[in-house]
Amino acid sequence: MALLEIHELQTWFDTRAGVVKAVDGVSLSVDRGETVALVGESGSGKSVTAYSILRLIPRTQGRIAGGRIVFDGTDLVTLPEAGIRALRGNRISMIFQEPLSALNPVLSIGSQIAEAIRLHRPVDRAAAWNQAVHLLDRVGIPMARRRADDFPHQLSGGMRQRVVIAIALACEPDLLIADEPTTALDVTTQAQILELLQELQAERGMGLLLITHDLGVVAEVADRAAVMYAGRVVEQGTVAQLFDAPAHPYTAGLLASMALGELVPGSRLPEIAGTVPSLLDMPPGCAFAPRCPQARATCLGMRPALAPVGSGAHRVACFLPLSDAAASAEPRELLREVA
């Protein structure tokens, strides 16, 4: 049994303009010791999916409208509030996108880690502080015992991110959710943070759900990936399957865009033609159909389900999935140049 299994998750927001279906039928799983990347552009529903797992959707407007989130055999959607509080920061932890916002500016970093430990473990202040210093040392904070008294504003962006990782790992979680953990960091620091996450995962055998828009990060650290578009998963499989033989036109377009931008000196910025549909007014069929050069009448009228394609875990939500040959031959046909 998978550590985490999400079945047809729907997370909607009630606004004055109507219902925003930010996540609309997402299914994915994460095994123990496995890294699964959730990929997509801004607004695709990646972070909302992550917040839904921990039931952090604001109740004033948001709600989980349907589906199941099963963690180690327990459905988190129906779990009482006391039960989900006992899991947060304990068996399931999250690294938030902006570390400065995630940290309390008026508490030392050592105090914040110790507080996370004491919340879920029966230890006294001295023991929690010693564990906090150990964690700071483990995540690469130099002179950890002295720096434990520092406040967040006294640290660099990379060091703040390490502190957030230390807090997330304080109670040795079974599942770690990392929401864009390298955003706004320089390339060298990004590499160090990703290497640290891989080391810690190998040590503890935890599952890792990595939320990112960076396909380079996916290629480097993930075992499997799910590609989201307009609140839905359009393709999932091993990283090798998605990179070597993308079956969905959107995935192929993302990969072609990345390749053109990196490999063709002086090339114009490529993009997939068209725009993402409004989540307030989704088309009745495939959400990508209005932008897809191979769309047919069926695509415009019916929503495709995730179905197996090729071998293994490769699945795609497309009535006309790209063949291996077509996917690897000319994915650039999905792009147009922008002056």
Q: What is the mean pLDDT of the chain?
A: 89
- What's the pLDDT band for 325 if we cut at 50, 70, 90? very low
Report yes or no on 227 lying in a domain. Answer: no
| CA 181, 65, 307, 286 torsion-angle sign | negative
> What is this structure's pTM?
0.90
pLDDT at 286 over 90: yes
Is the domain of 288 the same as that of 162? no
> How many Å apart are CA 237 and CA 309, to the nearest integer?
10
Q: Give the tens place of pLDDT for each residue, 218-259.
A: 999 999 999 999 999 999 999 999 999 999 999 999 888 775
**CATH number, residue 44:** 3.40.50.300
Domain count, the chain: 3
Residue/partner pairs of 68-75 with CB below 8 Å, 24 or more apart: 68/5, 68/6, 68/7, 68/8, 68/9, 69/4, 69/5, 69/6, 69/7, 69/9, 70/4, 70/5, 70/6, 70/7, 71/3, 71/4, 71/175, 72/3, 72/4, 72/174, 73/1
In a domain, 88, yes or no: no
**Same domain, yes or no: 64 and 126:** no
CB environment 127-150: b (16+ within 10 A), e (fewer)? ebbbbbbebbbbbbbeebeebbeb
229 close to 300: Cβ distance less than 8 angstroms: no
Domain that holds residue 108: 98-172
In a domain? residue 118: yes
Q: What is the pLDDT of residue 169?
A: 92
Shared domain check, 25 and 71: yes
How far apart are the C-alpha atoms of 256 and 174, rounded to whole Å?
35
Question: Does 234 reside within a domain?
Answer: no
pLDDT band at 267 (very low <50, low <70, confident <90, very high): low
pLDDT digits (tens, 9 = 90+) for 131-162: 999 999 999 999 999 999 999 999 998 999 99
pLDDT at 338 over 50: no
Q: Which of 172, 201, 233 is the last residue of a domain?
A: 172
129 and 167 housed in the same domain: yes
- Residue 165 counted as domain residue: yes
Tell me, yes or no, whether 122 lies in a domain.
Answer: yes
- Has residue 185 been placed in a domain? yes
**pLDDT at 227 (0 to 100):** 97
The pLDDT, as a whole number, for residue 120 is 93
Residue 81, judged by CB atoms within 10 A of its CB (0-12, 13-18, 19+), counts as exposed
Same domain, 249 and 330: yes
Residues 333 and 255 in one domain: yes
Range 195-208 average pLDDT: 92
Residues 58 and 183 in one domain: yes
Mean pLDDT on 298-304: 93
Residues 277 and 210 in one domain: no
Whether 249 and 333 map to the same domain: the answer is: yes
- The single-letter code of the amino acid at 141 is I
Let me know whether 5 and 59 are in one domain: yes
Domain boundary among 207, 222, 237: 222
Residues 256 and 299 in one domain: yes
pLDDT digit string, tens, across residues 102-116: 899 999 999 999 999
Same domain, 115 and 14: no
- Is there a domain that residue 73 lies in? yes
